[in-house]
Amino acid sequence: MKMKRIFLALVGFMVLMGDLSALAAQKAEQRTKALSFFILANPFPQVPDLMTVYETVTPAVTEGDVRKLMAAFGMKGEVGDRKRQWIVRDGPKTLEVFKEPGTGYLRFSNDEKLGAERAARNLPSAEAAVAKAKGFLNDRGMLLDGMVLTGVGFFDYDIRDAKGQTVKSGKSAIQVGFGFVLDGRRVEGPGAKAGVVFGEDAEIIGTSWIYRTLKPARKVKIMTPEEALSKFKQRWPPEGDPQQFRQAPVRTEVVIKDVRLTYFAEPGLIPQKALRPVYMFEGDFTVTKKTDKGEVREADRFSLMIPAEAGGLN
């Protein structure tokens, strides 16, 4: 009986190993059904060996600061002191200033005028709007050395009738946008931008200042662009050589047009402990699928972020 049990155990083990081998072969076959091919359209950038990690500083904003902003925007009413932010509401006007550690978010909006579907009288020119926006921010200590002008644009409106014909259109406001630069690199992400919107007679009808107060914390080693590319490829189906790629039922061709080393800021109302170096990969990709009726292609753009730290703090 003992020998029989050993024999049955061996048979069971062999069956199990056979099942595992078949499963591994099946997974390998599935992997080859979808392959990627990568094209680097431009050379890699030159990158430093070390970069600074910047820790965020808790916003030093008081009720008095909020009241000064209220006066600038012509607001009345009480200042709401909430756990995460100061908030003021005055009819269609809203002012929010976040005070939670790791945040950096200020927003004012006059929703009635921002959403106006009528032409604004006496809109400032682009040059005048830039000068006024810089003056407004500078007077409040919000025009930092690391800010750059990103553009000027108009708010257009278009009113159509039941037949879809335009009956009225025009410009209702003009906006001046700014970005932030850290160590000579433009900070990426929704938590690194500012803007001022002007309506009739150059009245400020919207303002945003989304950035965090930072302090240098430490130096970190930076991985090479080649190492970052290797990690980038892990986000896609397995890479195949040209012959394998052409035969795969699902093919993803990835064209990398830009690789840059920078910092990334999360949305300003979300706590973020530090701004850390990242690689940004941008470009186009095309997915080609073989079907019974021929090949189907879908194309789109991508923007992927890869952490740039190689480890080993200095």
Q: What is the pLDDT of residue 21?
A: 56
pLDDT single digits (tens) 60-95: 999 999 999 999 999 999 999 999 999 999 999 999
Q: What 3-state class would DSSP assign to 229?
A: helix
Q: What gap in Å lies between CA 283 and CA 288, rounded to an integer?
A: 17
pLDDT single digits (tens) 205-223: 999 999 999 999 999 999 9
Confidence tier at 23 by pLDDT (50, 70, 90): low
Q: What 3-state class would DSSP assign to 224?
A: coil
Q: What is the pLDDT of residue 17?
A: 47
Mean pLDDT of 234-255: 94
Q: What is the pLDDT of residue 160?
A: 78
pLDDT single digits (tens) 38-52: 999 999 999 999 999
Q: How high is the mean pLDDT of the chain? A: 89
pLDDT single digits (tens) 266-292: 999 999 999 999 999 999 999 999 888
Domain chopping of the chain, boundaries: 35-51+218-313, 55-213
Question: DSSP assignment, residue 100?
Answer: S
Confidence tier at 314 by pLDDT (50, 70, 90): very low
Mean pLDDT of 220-227: 97
Confidence tier at 167 by pLDDT (50, 70, 90): low
Residue 235 backbone class (left: φ over 0; alpha: ψ -120 to 50; beta: rest): alpha
Q: Residue 108 class from Cβ within 10 Å (0-12 exposed, 13-18 middle, 19+ buried)?
A: buried
